[in-house]
Amino acid sequence: MNLQVAFAATLVALTISPALTVHAQLNMNAPAKKAYVVYAAEPQSIAANKQATLELRFQIVNGYHVNSHTPKSDFLIPTVVTLQPSSGVKTGELQYPKGMPYSFSFDPGTKLDVYAGSFTVKLPVVASAGEHTLAGTLKYQACDNASCYPPRIVPLKVLFNAK
Amino acid sequence: MIGGISLVVWSGVQNLRKRRMDDQRSAQTQAVLVRSPDQTPAASSPLRGKPAPEFTLVDLDGKKVSLKDFKGHPLLLNFWGTYCDPCKIEMPWLEEFHKKYASQGFEVVGVTYDSEVGKAAIAKDTHKLGVTYPILLSDSKAEKEYLSDSEVLPMSFYLDRTGKIIEVTAGLGGKDQLEAMVKKTIAANN
């Protein structure tokens, strides 16, 4: 199975069974809560000691959306990735994609800025040679077209090899 | 030369096809996000038909408010959150119906699910929405008893004058539907 197929299979499995996914991502003793966004932990390879860009790919469960990184209201909770420092890795500022306009059918006049389907956050890095892991979290708040769900903070790990 | 031109043309066609597929995917995503306004938001809740669980919560002024304070009134108990846009769409409707049916004893009480954001943030939100009905701060007991494991907002409980829950709705419905539920609640046990 090549990497692309493995990645796709992982995404499909995670999308079909979101509750199971979160159970695996979080403390195993904690009660499982439904996940609305799944992180696709795809190992990446970059050139050592050179400016490179890592991609953090997220899949949103079908029928849901999350606020973009720059929602149009102070009251809305933005999607935010937070990463811990790691030795041998110098990180730049995270680059979030633009959101797409969205309105609830009951209030077409109010335009929100959301991610739906999937989105990719880019991380500029310069890393020394070797295997690296950046630990962090994704914070998001999901809604469907009539309801909203509490904010979630999901741990994630960015795995990459600098050659 | 001919091979080169063919390659450029082929590559252009492939790019165009990819763009069209991306546009189609985007359109499909949009379609998934649109729900019919007449879709019923009725929720399956074990509380329907049962007496509403008692609670004593504090309002934005720190005053204790209990369910029993509304005894004898048809009541709409609305769980909402500051992060919940659908909640904020229906809250002005609740305010409108609160005033419209006040002469028939109808009451509305909002219960803030994310009370940890603080009274100031909640008050700023409700003021902006023009809400004057009581806004209470939820606690874990009320959330467990009313919402169980559901985290769906908005969630509304319609109580008749005896305190029995006659309907539970989850998510945003249409304004007309909401008013019909209010009328049904007022008419129950009248």
What are the per-10-residue average pLDDT scores of chain B (190 residues)? 56 51 36 38 79 97 96 97 92 97 97 94 95 96 90 95 95 92 91
Any domain includes A17: no
d(C-alpha A121, C-alpha A54), whole Å: 8
Least confident of A66-70, A107-111, B147-151: A107-111
Residue A154 pLDDT > 70, yes or no? Answer: yes
Any domain includes A15: no
Residue A8 pLDDT > 80, yes or no? Answer: no
Mean pLDDT of chain A, nearest integer: 81
Question: Considering only alpha carbons, which residue of chain B is nearest residue A117?
Answer: B29
Any domain includes A121: yes
Report chain A residues whose CB lies below 8 A from the CB of B151: 33, 149-150
Q: How far is A3 from chain B (nearest CA, A)?
A: 22
Q: End-to-end distance of chain B based on CA atoms, in angstroms?
A: 88
Report chain B residues whose CB lies below 8 A from the CB of A113: none
Out of B39, B86, B175, the one facing A104 most closely (by C-beta) is B86
Mutate to test the interface with A, among B85, B144, B177 (most CBs of A within 10 A): B85
For helices B119-129 and B85-100, the axis angle rounded to 10 degrees is: 60
Any domain includes A76: yes
| pTM for the full predicted model | 0.75
d(C-alpha A22, C-alpha A155), whole Å: 9
Number of domains making up chain A? 1
Determine the residue type at B74.
P
Any domain includes A24: no
- B49-78 residues touching A, CB cutoff 8 A: none
Tokens read off for A126: 């310069």
User: Percent of chain A at pLDDT above 90?
Assistant: 64
Any domain includes A3: no
DSSP string, chain A: --HHHHHHHHHHHHHH-HHHHHHHHS-TTSPP---SEEEE---EEE-TTS-EEEEEEEEEPTT-EEE-SS-SSTTSPPPEEEE--BTTEEE---BPPP-EEE--TT-TTPPEEEEESEEEEEEEEEE-SEEEEEEEEEEE-EE-SS-B---EEEEEEEEEEE-
Q: What is the pLDDT of residues A13-24, one digit of tens each?
A: 333 333 222 222
- B129-148 residues touching A, CB cutoff 8 A: none
Domain limits for position A65: 33-162
- Domain containing A96 — which CATH number? 2.60.40.1250
The answer, for B44 touching chain A at a CB cutoff of 8 Å, is no
Any domain includes A117: yes
pLDDT tier at A93, thresholds 50, 70, 90:
very high
Least confident of A51-60, A107-116, B122-131, B162-171: A107-116
How large is the average pLDDT for residues A44-48? Answer: 96
Any domain includes A115: yes
Interchain CB distance below 8 Å, A110 and B89: yes
Interchain CB distance below 8 Å, A105 and B114: no
Q: Determine the 3-state secondary structure of B15 from DSSP.
A: helix
Active-site residue set of B = 87
Q: End-to-end distance of chain A based on CA atoms, in angstroms?
A: 23
Q: Which of A55, A39, A60, A51 is nearest to A116 (CA)?
A: A60
pLDDT tier at A107, thresholds 50, 70, 90:
confident
Considering only the C-alpha atoms of chain B, give the largest distance between any 2 of them, rounded to a whole number of Å. Answer: 89
pLDDT tier at A41, thresholds 50, 70, 90:
confident
Which ranges of B51-117 does DSSP label H, i.e. alpha helix? Answer: 85-100
Q: Determine the 3-state secondary structure of B139 from DSSP.
A: coil
Interchain CB distance below 8 Å, A150 and B151: yes
